[in-house]
Amino acid sequence: MRFFNTAGPIKPERHYCIPPLERLNMDEVFALIRDEKYFVLHAPRQTGKTSALLALRDLLNAQGTYRCVYVNVEGGQAAREDVEQVTRAFLGELASRARLVGDGFLDEIWFDILAKYGGHVALREALTRWAQAAPKPLVLLIDEIDALIGDSLLSVLRQLRAGYDLRPEGFPQSVVLCGVRDVRDYRIQSTAENAIIAGGSAFNIRAESLRLGDFSQDEVFDLIAQHTAETGQAFTAEALETIWTQTQGQPWLVNALAYEAGFKNKTGRDRSQPITDNAICDAREQLILRREIHLDQLADKLQEERVQRVIEPLLSGAEERRFIDRDLEYVRDLGLVAQDLPYRIANPVYAEVVPRELTWVLQGEFEQETAWYINADGSLNVVKLMTEFQTFFREHSEHWVRRFQYQEAGPQLLLQAFLQRIVNSGGRIEREYGLGRGRTDLLIVWPQGDQMRKFVIECKILHKSLEQTIAEGLEQTAEYMDRCDAEAGHLVIFDRREGRRWADKVFRDSRTSSSGVEIEVWGM
């Protein structure tokens, strides 16, 4: 029986899958190879790059026009800037991969070439001799190129460039460099030259940069339909919509949610029972709680300054962009921020992971008992929660906000950490934030019997006068309540101005929006 794949390249006989080459513009790929171009294929981690390269290798070799070899150079990362050792690892792996497609030429020569020419020339010389001896033009697919660092990466790029004019008789006809980022955007720290070298300078023969995108909505539904066709188990329409909405087609997330709900969950393994949207929401929570490697790697990037410069104003709902294009390109290449406007986290799962990761330590500081904020009928007492948070914020915010790496978004993060107990008690928080919104929207979804009750909490930083900020916030909160069909709304105003007394900042008031919606306003 096939299953949803969450680790490594797909195998169609074992995994539900979208055919990898259907996700590429193959007319463009064939034209680049035919025209002897060297180009880049890049995409975030666990998007399907390696699966696409392996499928391309098999297709080209089956067509018979070229001899195509795939090689993964990640093994050279451990040697760091030792060019000799990295070249040894590269050539050894390349010879091994070439044998898999019936070509043992490199096996006989690469070691002697390395001994004679050294690490800075051996790759170019080996590729030249191989191309001259090959009965067909060579196509070389180099995966994980950005795993190499510093002088070792520069050496590989420059050797590929050095033999470029010899193609196709004396060098590979086409080379594809594959990694997370476009080589143009590399900033390579060369120890030998004591300088930062631009990737576009070291590899200025790059003709095109192709990006492997996420699944489309149709592809997500087609993938899930394969499971239904083979097992008879349906995903409800609501479950399908939840998978699409939560992942926005990110391939690993789509597969991980479906696998968690349909294979790891005991109820989900009963093929007579459909997979519901509640099962998908539960699966999302389990992935986050386990800090799955995909999510953990992404969260680890939050510690980088160039990531913080982009993510922090998104979390705080800042009005203006202050980050530079290169920072934005980097977080987009990581898959953390959406490719299109407005600037926002790429999907709701990542939007949930980011604040929870940034407040992981603080969450453990709060007692997890639930009785005090749950009413006798099982309903959620949001007013009691907010009253308690207001007291906590007054007493502890200065201490905790200083401890946050993302201090600009500190108040919003503190509130989200405080509300995390709702998730731990079986509820759910949905978060909307992004640049230019001027606010952070939180939606609490609380199960009570057969109902899902909804409460809006909107956060704003006081920039204008208090009355202007409240007036604007009331309309935004009312609009969000209407969109989410929430029964109550709370507007939180954080006053971060210097020299203000807490007695002037802390208040609670009931106000009414222009549409007649009553909203609780909390000053902090």
Return the amino acid letter for 109.
Answer: I
Give residue 360's pLDDT.
Answer: 84
Is there a single domain that holds both residue 200 and residue 269?
Answer: no
Decide if 14 is inside a domain: no
Is there a single domain that holds both residue 245 and residue 162?
Answer: no
Give residue 520's pLDDT.
Answer: 98
Give residue 367's pLDDT.
Answer: 61
Give residue 132's pLDDT.
Answer: 98
Domain hosting 145: range is 19-211
Q: Which of 318, 305, 373 is nearest to 344 (CA)?
A: 318
Contacts 24+ apart (CB under 8 A), 104-113: 105/129, 105/130, 105/133, 105/134, 106/130
Is there a single domain that holds both residue 207 and residue 222?
Answer: no
Is there a single domain that holds both residue 79 and residue 110?
Answer: yes
Give the angle subtended at the CA of 240 by the CAs of 238 and 243, to the nearest 5°.
110
Using the 3D structure, point to which of 273, 290, 307 is the last residue of a domain.
290
Decide if 239 is inside a domain: yes
4 sits in the region (left: phi over 0; alpha: psi -120 to 50; else beta) called beta
Using the 3D structure, point to which of 163, 182, 211 is the last residue of a domain.
211
Using the 3D structure, point to which of 211, 237, 265 is the last residue of a domain.
211
Decide if 320 is inside a domain: no
Decide if 81 is inside a domain: yes
pTM for this model (two decimals): 0.92
38-42 and 174-179 strand pairing:
parallel
Average pLDDT by stretches of 10, the chain with 524 residues:
96 97 98 98 96 98 98 95 96 97 96 97 98 97 96 96 97 97 84 80 90 97 98 98 98 98 97 97 94 93 95 89 91 96 95 92 69 88 95 90 88 92 83 87 93 95 93 96 97 93 95 97 97
Decide if 128 is inside a domain: yes
CATH number (domain holding residue 222):
1.10.8
Decide if 53 is inside a domain: yes
What lies within 8 Å, CB to CB, of 262 at 6+ separation is 4, 227, 233, 268, 269, 275
Is there a single domain that holds both residue 128 and residue 167?
Answer: yes
Decide if 71 is inside a domain: yes
